[in-house]
Amino acid sequence: MGEQHSATATGLSGGMASIINFAQYPLDDLNSDTGRALVERCRDEVRRTGACLLPDFITPEARDAWLSEAGRVEGKAHQVDHDFTYGAAGEKAAEPPASLPEDDPRNYLSHTAMKFVAKDLIGDGCSIKDLHRWEPMAAFIRQVMERPAYPSGCPLSGLVFTIAYDGEEQDWHFDNNDFIVTLMLQKPAEGGHFEYMPGLRTPEGEDDFETIKAVHKGTCPDVIRPPIRPGTLTLFKGRYNYHRASPVIGNHPRVMAIFAYEREPDNRQSDAASSMLFFGRTQEQALA
C-alpha cells in the first residue's frame, strides 16, 4: 500500500519504493505507529544533539543513479575556493574590532573549496528531484525540525551536488539558515568527515568563543564525528552548532546532495552575492 501511495504521489513508474528504504523509514505513512515512532526518535535526536542520521535512507540503486548523475554534470560545476570571515556564509561579515586578541575566533578565516552543481544542471529525469519535491518528505522534515519546511524553488541552491577532491574542505563555521538536509552519495578513501560541536551559539547570537578556540586547536574532547556512510540522510541544525567537513584525502571524491527547504511554498529566496560565489551566476541569470 505504501508503494502504491508513493507512486501516485510522485508519478514515478517505480514509485518512491525504488528510492526510499520504506522498511526502516515509512515516510509514506507517518500517521502509523511506526511512522510516529520514527518522527519522535528523530525529533528527540535533533533536540538533544542538533542532528539526526538516517543510515540506508535510500536504496543502493537510487544512490548509484544519483552518483552517476553527479558525475555526468560535474564538468558544469562551479569551483569554489574562498576564505570566509568569521560568521559569514555567503556574504561578507563585519570586520572584527581591531582591539581583539590575535587568537580571538572572530579573526579566524573559514576555507571552503569544492565544486557546486546547481539544481538547474541536474537532469529533470533524475529521481533525486522527485524526492526533493515529494510532499511526504517535506512533511517528515517539518515534523522532525518543528518548523515550516517546503522545497526551495531556487533554480540554483534548491538542490545541489557538492564534489570535494583531495585537500578540499568546508572549514569550521555556523550556517545562516536554520537547518540543512544532506545525503551522502560517496565517501572519500580518507578524510572528508562531518564534525560538529553542539550549542556554541545561542538563539540570541552569543558565541562560546573559548570552546570555539579549543575546537580549532583540536583540544575539545566533545566534538562529535558521527559515522556517515553512503546512503545516509542527515538533518542538522547548523545555525547554532559549529561544524565542518574536514579535508578530503586521496583522489576518491566526497560527493553529497544538499536539499534546501524554505518556510513558505515555492519560495525562491536567493542572495545574489551568495549565488555568484557558489554557482558563478545569479538566480535571475538562471531563470533567463
Provide the 3-class DSSP secondary structure of residue 153. Answer: coil
User: Which domains does the chain show, CATH number per domain?
Assistant: 53-122+151-287 (2.60.120.620)
Contact, 122 vs 129, CB < 8 A?
Answer: yes
Question: 221: which 3 cell numbers?
Answer: 574532547
Question: pLDDT by residue (tens digit) across 201-242?
Answer: 998 889 999 999 999 999 999 999 999 999 999 999 999 999
Residue 163 confidence (pLDDT): 98
Residue 87 confidence (pLDDT): 62
pTM metric for this prediction: 0.90
- How many whole angstroms separate alpha carbon 154 and alpha carbon 168? 26
Element at 273 (helix H, strand E): helix 272-279
Average pLDDT value over all residues in the chain: 90
